[in-house]
Structure 1
Amino acid sequence: MKNDVIVGLGSNIDPMTYIEKALTQIKTRFLSVNVSEFIFTEPIGFKHQAPFCNGAVRFTTDLSAEALKSWLLALEDALGRIRTENKNGPRTIDLDILVWNGKIVDPDVGERDFLQSALKALQPTLF
């Protein structure tokens, strides 16, 4: 079964480089890839760091949600993401499943305007 997915991408360590690398891997692996605009936003939580570049990508996949999450975590690791105790700290890349088959599955969407804007661009019927 094909699953329709939207994944959020964010970075504040050399963001254009790491977002482009992540997008290249996603476009190589998945079908029907559409990309939102990317915008710079101020950090949330831990303020003493560089702004984040954020956007989203929509694609179809045969993977289950769990398998896709594992693939995204492996991609984050491959792109040098270092996980620290500070959940809101700097990172090379952050990849999160936001929408799964038309259902918003990430609670941050309701709190972050930049995520809502990206989702509206990729799937206007969500809102």
Structure 2
Amino acid sequence: ITGNLLALESLTEEHPDVQLLLCESGGDNLAANFSRELADYTVYVIDVAGGDKVPRKGGPGITQSDLLVINKVDLAEAVGADLDVMRRDAKAMRGDGPTVFAAVKNGVGVPEIEHAILDAWETAMRKGSGAK
């Protein structure tokens, strides 16, 4: 975590006009590794190859992230994962929290991911400037 924060501080100093920095933190879905205080917006990515039971296991990444991305949906059939089960379980764990099903390598879901991140950023910028 310290390494990421130092890198972000360095980038902010080197590029003062940059308004949006993205930082990949890696890690897992354990509470010890997931902290809402470390980011303004979090995207949690799971891989279909992990199986269709992953969303129902919960954990802070699944339940608390601003956006859940279920990636590699193109591999679902090959690994025996049921996307409908994953969709249902993600909804049960996240309520109205957004979830995008994607195959990022093939561009599937990328526009939805971009939109979610940029929409949240624009909303935060409006709030910060006092605009509505």
Shorter-chain TM-score bucket reads under 0.3
Larger radius of gyration: 2
Higher RCO structure (Cα 8 Å, ≥6 apart): 1
- State the TM-score, normalized to the length of structure 2: 0.23
Task: Report which of the two has the higher share of strand.
Answer: 1
- State the TM-score, normalized to the length of structure 1: 0.24
